[in-house]
Amino acid sequence: MIRVFIVAASPLARGGLENLLAMRGVSVVGRSATLESLSEQIVDVEPDVVLGDASGDNAEALLDALLSSNLATETAVLLLSDHPRPGWTAEALRAGVRAILPSEVSPEQLAAALEAAMAGLVVVHPSAIAVALPAPSAALSPLAELAEPLTPREREVLEMLASGLVNKEIAAKLSISEHTVKFHVASILGKLGAATRTEAVSLGFRRGLVLL
């Protein structure tokens, strides 16, 4: 059973989402009005996915909070949003958000997206594709050689990032601590010149460091 933590400013929205998830047999392990209050509970409840209500005026505030935290790099995040400004979807994906769906999503679609996000996949509603993807451009310029190559362990961690694993899962697979995983991820970002894990994976593919 998927364990979901709901973040929504409105008590009505929190209640509505909980009822909607209950229709699909999803376990709600916690609720909060903000990401800041979520951080105080997440260690205890350990959700599989954080479901955030980014509708209306909440869109910018929630995105800012995600950008200033490491939540989306450590836990699968799914956002519900109503027609955000151009570029918002792309910024959310770059921040590590796994799924973005319209607020009027059906219970079946929401349950499917939660399962996909938990499995490490990225889910974007068709209505958001056009604004999320950049227009076709000239061929990518060749990448310069890395000043310092990735170590074998860093390449191993990068492969796992590309598979959609979060820090806790990587730590378990490699029998190391989450702190050590964070250290490797930070080193990978620095060596590749990436701002986010998603960008690091993209650069890893371009450099042949990650195999399809």
- Which residue ranges make up each domain of the chain? 3-132, 152-206
Confidence (pLDDT) at 138: 45
Instruction: Look up tokens 């998603």; give the residue.
Output: 198
Nearest-angstrom CA–CA distance, 37 and 121: 26
Q: Phi and psi for 145 in degrees, rounded to 5?
A: -65, 145
Q: Which CATH architecture has domain 3-132?
A: 3-Layer(aba) Sandwich (3.40)
Q: Are 90 and 131 in contact (CB under 8 A)?
A: yes
Share of the chain above pLDDT 90, in %: 25
Confidence (pLDDT) at 114: 92
Nearest-angstrom CA–CA distance, 208 and 212: 9
Residue 77, CA distances (Å) to 6, 80, 89 in order: 10, 10, 13
Helix (H, G, I), strand (E, B) or coil at 13: helix
The mean pLDDT value for 130-152 works out to: 68
**Model-level pTM greater than 0.75?**
no
Just give the CATH number of 152-206: 1.10.10.10
Structure confidence by residue, pLDDT tens digits, 156-179: 999 998 888 889 999 999 999 999
Residue 24, CA distances (Å) to 18, 40, 89 in order: 10, 27, 26
